[in-house]
Structure 1
């Protein structure tokens, strides 16, 4: 049995956490060595020694917390930032001359690690939140900050925000890459299943159709149904536009695929880059395709506002229902989609016996409003039109025209 494709997720931020771990260790060692090399200059070296001992223990004990985003919790980040701020404010107590000679603080550049943890964890906003109190503490510790101090504070503030922004971009890229890998794996699996289905199920359905037609009688009806299922299955495995649709069962006519007139029944996801709720009309019309219904559409997407596309699809479904009910189960139908700059035209044509003259007026008088409401009424609300042309013995043609601004016109009509 062939194995399913596995999607291996890549983490672009995990190397950042490893780098942060190394940075914290190295800067902790640097802060300790810096103190040991200049301890004779401290008026209260024991203050610096106690703080650096706490800093070393804290850094080593919290290495697991900076190994990944899941373990780097908000309480840890808050405590880490408090330790960094405490070290900055203790610097004048340990070395009175630190303010005069603009020397390094007790935690030195280790403080930047706390801010970077915020940046990697939450992005540039978290980085700005953490770097601001660090900047204030550095300025307050100096009393009268020099130009070098201001430059260093500004550098940490800008660099941390920039790194946070890069992390956010990297995460978005990671999600996009993961989605692309999933689509690729799904496509390969679909192709594999399509090959298997083509070699087995489709051939069996084709054989049933041929044998049933040859035998006649009830077997012919079984063959016809097998042929319809073969067409539907071929459309599915070929990766066409067909989407899951609802099927209404009719014991006398067989299974008829149709769109249910519900707000979200077959509404597909928004097309990429469409933020105004537009959908590809082809996606809503594709489920109508079958053994006796042919859909011809442009090679490119036919975007329409979602409500308008849904109403057009419902009108097409009503027209096909009329074909099935009045032209007979053996009648064929064709759906043609035309995409023009100002409007979209959908034509539904059949090869049935046509509609006798005066039949539509008579139907409306009898209370049968299928054409008047289900087709013409829908298009009228969209600011479009529906024209029906029928010649006895030559079939019926329904032409639906919907303008590109259908959504705006409908909104104005509802407000009025």
Structure 2
């Protein structure tokens, strides 16, 4: 819904109420008019016009400039007919035939066209008031300024609201496009880039024509990483499902400052990573973690284990530990490899290697969680993933 739509609804109600008010004021002073039939004829036109044109003031699309011109004309004609109807107070400071209904005509210009349109319409109403009274009195000035200031203020507010709405729509469009690019980048990193890297390693090891194939795969990997890394922000897209399998027994991995909690829904998804070089540990009862968050968490764990296999060496061992906190599920991936040298993560991200930035931290950020990486050269690496139980 447009931010200005409530103003159009309020204007519809204002026009109907002020039409009724003008008729009541005329009826109360009916005997004072020398030519009341002029007022009656005008109110018949005013009532019919107000009720028939309610759809025109229901939104900006239907409120055309032609309608606004006709609407303002009826207000001006009513003002000029007031002394003709023979009520002397219309000239000496009393209410005109359209009374405060004229403000509704000016407000329609303000909502449709902004403060400049409002200023033009209110100026025309002011001139009509001066003409029908024949002089420029203090009360006339007061009424004209009141309508002018109110309509210009509303017109300005409408212009600001429209600009804000356009800015918000553009920001949402950019965010949607960015999230889609990052989703594709993450999927490419988890599939195509890893295959190219594997082809390069195996081709180099086999030699001959396979080595040439490996070299070409390495060049394509570098080019694709550069393309993927260009313009990305650390906000991933929708979750991607990983495989599920059975859990293994408890782990003996030490963990200071944490208590073992209850089993989380990610446990079946994470258990598939268990093997001779990966020990998986999780409590035995489920935790209320949303399935989408569990799948995203499992994908981040898989990315962390890929890094262990790729960088920690063939003899490295890894541990996966699932813990339950009152407001969050914590999964820790720890290895006994050589650790990560200082500055290596920043360098890798600059080279387009998004394993930590996108596949781990990015995934967790998308569901409202965090990923903390602790590594000491020669003492292994630990990745702690914290996911709130009430995710985004």
Q: Deviations over 1:308-367 (max 9, x none)?
A: xxxxxxxxxxxxxxxxxxxxxxxxxxxxxxxxxxxxxxxxxxxxxxxxxxxxxxxxxxxx
8 Å Cα contact 2:181/2:232 also seen in 1: no
Partner of 1:174: 165
8 Å Cα contact 2:11/2:108 also seen in 1: yes
Q: Tell me which of 124, 128, 140 is aligned to 1:137.
A: 128
Looking at structure 1, the residues matched to 209 and 12 of structure 2 have their Cα atoms a distance apart, in angstroms, of 75
Looking at structure 1, the residues matched to 222 and 116 of structure 2 have their Cα atoms a distance apart, in angstroms, of 54
Q: Tell me which of 4, 13, 34 is aligned to 1:43.
A: 34
Q: Tell me which of 11, 15, 26 is aligned to 1:20.
A: 11
Looking at structure 1, the residues matched to 209 and 64 of structure 2 have their Cα atoms a distance apart, in angstroms, of 69
Partner of 1:214: 205
**How does 1:9-408 map onto structure 2 within 5 Å?**
10-238=1-229, 240=231
8 Å Cα contact 1:91/1:98 also seen in 2: no
The list of structure 1 runs, each at least 4 consecutive aligned residues, that deviate by more than 6 angstroms after superposition, is: none
Listed as ranges, the gaps of 5+ residues in structure 1 are 1-9, 243-290, 296-416
Q: Deviations over 1:67-124 (max 9, x none)?
A: 1111111111111111111111111111340344311111111111111111111111
Task: Tell me which moved more, 221-230 or 132-141.
Answer: 221-230
Quick one: structure 1 residues 22 and 225, their matched pair in 2 at CA, closer, same or farther if it must change by over 3 Å?
A: farther
Quick one: structure 1 residues 229 and 30, their matched pair in 2 at CA, closer, same or farther if it must change by over 3 Å?
A: farther
Looking at structure 1, the residues matched to 160 and 15 of structure 2 have their Cα atoms a distance apart, in angstroms, of 24
Looking at structure 2, the residues matched to 58 and 186 of structure 1 have their Cα atoms a distance apart, in angstroms, of 47
Aligned residues: 237
Q: Deviations over 1:347-392 (max 9, x none)?
A: xxxxxxxxxxxxxxxxxxxxxxxxxxxxxxxxxxxxxxxxxxxxxx
Listed as ranges, the gaps of 5+ residues in structure 2 are 234-347, 353-392
Q: What do you get for the CA RMSD once the two structures are aligned?
A: 2.4
8 Å Cα contact 2:32/2:87 also seen in 1: no
8 Å Cα contact 2:225/2:351 also seen in 1: no
Task: Tell me which moved more, 72-81 or 184-193.
Answer: 184-193
Higher relative contact order (CA 8 A, sep 6+): 2
Q: Deviations over 1:166-193 (max 9, x none)?
A: 1111111111111222222223323332
Q: TM-score, normalised by structure 2?
A: 0.56
8 Å Cα contact 2:91/2:132 also seen in 1: no
